[in-house]
Amino acid sequence: QVQVVESGGGSARAGDTLRLSCRTSGLNFYDYSMGWFRQAPGKEREGVACIARSGGIMSYADAVKGRFIISRNNAANTVELQMNMLKPEDSAVYYCAADFKTYEGCSLTSLYEYKHWGQGTQVTVSS
């Protein structure tokens, strides 16, 4: 059974740093690109950052480019999202997801391709 579990959310103030972690099990981690998504109340779920299987390709949403860093550890089956210079508009539930890929690449927009999702972790940023 595939499991995707996020951790590391919480409350922060504008300008702070938070680090989210996602641990997977039940899948061959190297076969999957990984993505972080977020959903704020009343808004659609959106892509934040994704990383290809080997970690050599990463993509970021414009809203977080230059502030967030995605990384993965294929030996540990984990992916992390370091969120620097947080803003109140970063407040949302953050989800980690896995997308089976036969090539190097990842998508921030094709959410339907991600078959395995975590339950989400809340991030709240105050001004």
Q: How do residues 24-64 score in pLDDT, each as one tens digit?
A: 999 999 999 999 999 999 999 999 999 999 999 999 999 99
Average per-residue pLDDT for the chain: 97
Cα dihedral: 82, 47, 24, 15 (round 10): 20
Query: Of 2, 16, 22, 8, nearest to 90 (Cα)?
Result: 16
Radius of gyration of the chain (CA): 13
The contacts of residue 44 (CB under 8 Å, 6+ apart) are: none
| CA 71/CA 82 separation, integer angstroms | 8
Mean pLDDT of 1-26: 97
